[in-house]
A and B are shown apart, each in its own frame.
Chain A
Amino acid sequence: MQPAPTPSSMTHPGQAGHPDGQPLLAVKALIKYFPVDQSWLGRSASSHNRSAHGPAVVHAVDDVSFTIRSGEVLGLVGESGCGKSTVARLILRLLEPTSGEIWFEGNNLLAAGRRELFAVRRRMQIIFQDPYSSLNPRLRIGDVLEEPLLIHRVGSPEERHRRVIELLAQVGMDESALTKYPHEFSGGQRQRIGIARALALRPAFIVADEPVSSLDVSIQAQIINLLEELQAAYHLSLLFIAHDLHMVRHVSDRVAVMYLGRIVELAGTESLFYQTPPPKTQAFLATPPVTQTPPASSTGGSARPRLLLEGDLPSPIDLPAGCRFYSRCPKRIDDCLRQDPPLIQIAPGHQAACILAR
């Protein structure tokens, strides 16, 4: 843990309320570099990549900025290792950023001391991808759901009990679950319990990190419907992380696409999915599950042609010069090597980091 900055840099509690129109969450120039393992196991890799500029680092999150309004769902998509989950963990301060700012309900989270952070954490929660490893196997469901209330000293024992039953009802489960252990439930039911736990403290903001990708196909729709109902009922802000673009398109108001630690495109769902995008997003969006379209008609109807990316993701340690996508981009030109394009506005509410998109 780094020493907490002085509390005086926090916004005064009286100003913590945010007027309408202000974003609930604002992330500015967020950077997280992980040092590459210097132990003997990792030495061969790191010495190879160490440059004259000092020890090698993984550019996990590299200058990321975005906002989420109250009640808004922001989808965050990208290939594995692009930094999606790291962004989520930085926002929740489960990881310490290298630099940048995170403003939540008027508070600068990176300047917050332990006590302020404790208070803020009631307002922001996370739903994990794996409903098996994210529930303590030795706690009964009643205890799993009461734990956040206990930690934050909410209510009397009776009030907490009532709240736990209420939470179970909200996710479509009944009281019989209280005395059972996680292993007695299916994956879908466990994910419901994970959602109930995230709701326990009535948060304003929830990170949903691949909440359905480990579930069976027939169960995914149940959980997505539940998330959407709860999001609307409690006016929640969601950061919805996924690699299934159809799900992201279905739930999100806006979508951010990440590639190698950067946001490369950020736009309203409609304009991202249905207007001509920069090549990077285009390839990502063109990838397989063309599920709803029967094979007979899959050639027609789609607004964009299928674009196949060559090669693999470059190493986030040895970043290529210029645009990070250059090596895989089917539309690359020489100018792309000259600079790493910044994320700029290409249309109202539509940002992209591609010189061809201008």
Chain B
Amino acid sequence: MPDQLLSIDHLATHLETTDGIVKAVNDVSLTVTPGRVLGLVGESGCGKTMTALSVMRIVPPPGRIVGGAIRFQGVDLLALPEREMQRVRGRRIAMIFQEPMTALNPVLTVGEQIAEMLRYHLGMRRGDARSRAIELLRQVGVPSPDERYRAYPHQLSGGLRQRVMIAMAISCEPALIFADEPTTALDVTIQAQILDLLRRLQRELRLSVVLISHDLGVIAQMADEVAVMYAGRIVEQSSTATLFNEPLHPYTQGLMKSLPRRAPRDRRQRLTAIPGSVPQLQHLPSGCAFHPRCPVAIARCAADEPALKSLAPGHDARCWVAEAKYAQAV
């Protein structure tokens, strides 16, 4: 499909551990449309970050991409020589990490780090890179950017550091940005600022973004489309409005029900919890990985693994029960 910026097909990223093979990313297919925000939601260990690292080809050992294809602007990224991949990373696909303190270099000033990107990728001269870096700091709302250019990461607050990360990410005008839990390490009031900034930049610069988060609230605010991951697989995928109005997969439904409701408040009303705990990836249950925790599981769920199927226009789910229900309705 020519109008897709990024298409991931049947991606498999495995980790070979002494305890067995961990299928961190298990047959994941995704597409990103230019100018849109794709939300990738799921709990810790579900494979969201691994998917992003696979696209960037920076999967840490013992992890390895063992199958699938990643096409970006028509180029097969997995077939690209490392030298050319370096021209993609940071230049055409940028990444914003969760913890800006560990993602930034502590011994370079933040301005130098942005300028370094501009000089390396765009071949800018020192002076030009410097003024452009200051301009970028201003664009992401860093107060007195001339002074902050000379600040080291530890001299900035968490919110300002994340702004610097965002400035670095947009510095080379990439076609795609991965934002991996960009607000999770921040205070609520600062979270709101950073989300606002991301949304403003996304609209103004027509950025394409893959937003990774465990927070359904953040996803609801930011994403155009959503993919829900569980135990290395995508279990549901649709537009954001459809997903929140009519979740099909019992896991998505459970996540939404387990959140405290808005008014009218009845304090003694229990939250609807998802029983059990997230399975370990090296000891996945048979059949559907969610079936031991699923309130509507049938015998088939323990035996066969369902496929991700389109159950309504633009709405895919990986669930036998939802599939049966929709087959009847059609």
Residues of A within 8 A of B188 (CB): 79, 243, 245, 284, 287-288
Would you call A186 and B277 a contact (CB within 8 A)? yes
Residues of B within 8 A of A253 (CB): 267
Would you call A309 and B189 a contact (CB within 8 A)? yes
Closest chain-A Cβ to B278's Cβ sits at a distance in Å of 6
Query: Does B304 touch A at the CB level, under 8 Å?
Result: no
Segment touching B, from A51-59, A162-170, A203-211, A219-227: A219-227
User: Which B residues contact A (CB, under 8 angstroms)?
Assistant: 43-44, 157, 159-160, 183, 187-193, 195-196, 214-218, 220-221, 240-241, 244-245, 251, 254-256, 258-263, 265, 267-268, 270-275, 277-278, 293
Query: Does A21 touch B at the CB level, under 8 Å?
Result: no
Would you call A291 and B277 a contact (CB within 8 A)? no
Do A225 and B215 form a contact, CB below 8 Å, given A288-B191, A294-B244, A295-B244? no
| Residue from A218, A243, A251 within 8 A of B43 (CB atoms) | A218
Q: Which of A219, A225, A301, A313 has the most CB of B within 10 A?
A: A219
Query: Does A298 touch B at the CB level, under 8 Å?
Result: yes
In the complex, the chain A residue whose C-beta lies closest to that of B257 is A221
Would you call A308 and B255 a contact (CB within 8 A)? no
Query: Does A110 touch B at the CB level, under 8 Å?
Result: no
Query: Does A3 touch B at the CB level, under 8 Å?
Result: no
| Residue from B214, B220, B267, B268 within 8 A of A290 (CB atoms) | B220
Tell me the bound Cα distance from A148 to B314 in angstroms. Answer: 56
| Residue from A189, A220, A270 within 8 A of B265 (CB atoms) | A270
In the complex, the chain B residue whose C-beta lies closest to that of A243 is B188
Closest chain-A Cβ to B226's Cβ sits at a distance in Å of 10
Residues of B within 8 A of A292 (CB): 256, 259-262
Closest chain-A Cβ to B228's Cβ sits at a distance in Å of 11
Would you call A225 and B192 a contact (CB within 8 A)? no
Residues of A within 8 A of B43 (CB): 216-218
Residues of B within 8 A of A69 (CB): none
Would you call B275 and A222 a contact (CB within 8 A)? yes
Q: Which of B262, B268, B275 has the most CB of A within 10 A?
A: B262
Tell me the bound Cα distance from A312 to B255 in angstroms. Answer: 32
Chain A: residues with Cβ within 8 Å of the partner, total of 52
Given contacts A221-B258, A291-B216, 12 further A-B contacts (CB under 8 A): A216-B277, A218-B274, A221-B272, A221-B273, A243-B187, A251-B267, A290-B220, A291-B259, A292-B256, A295-B240, A308-B196, A309-B192
Do A225 and B217 form a contact, CB below 8 Å, given A243-B188, A251-B267, A296-B245? no
Q: Which of A251, A298, A312 has the most CB of B within 10 A?
A: A312
Would you call B221 and A288 a contact (CB within 8 A)? yes
Closest chain-A Cβ to B283's Cβ sits at a distance in Å of 12
Q: Which of B43, B190, B259 has the most CB of A within 10 A?
A: B259
Residues of A within 8 A of B191 (CB): 287-288
Query: Does A250 touch B at the CB level, under 8 Å?
Result: yes
16 contacts between A and B (CB under 8 A): A188-B277, A216-B44, A217-B255, A217-B259, A218-B278, A232-B268, A246-B262, A250-B265, A273-B265, A287-B192, A288-B183, A292-B260, A295-B220, A296-B245, A309-B193, A312-B190
In the complex, the chain B residue whose C-beta lies closest to that of A296 is B241
In the complex, the chain A residue whose C-beta lies closest to that of B143 is A311
Q: Using a CB-CB cutoff of 8 Å, which residues 107-155 of chain A contact chain B? A: none
Would you call B258 and A217 a contact (CB within 8 A)? yes
In the complex, the chain A residue whose C-beta lies closest to that of B258 is A221
Tell me the bound Cα distance from A224 to B254 in angstroms. Answer: 15
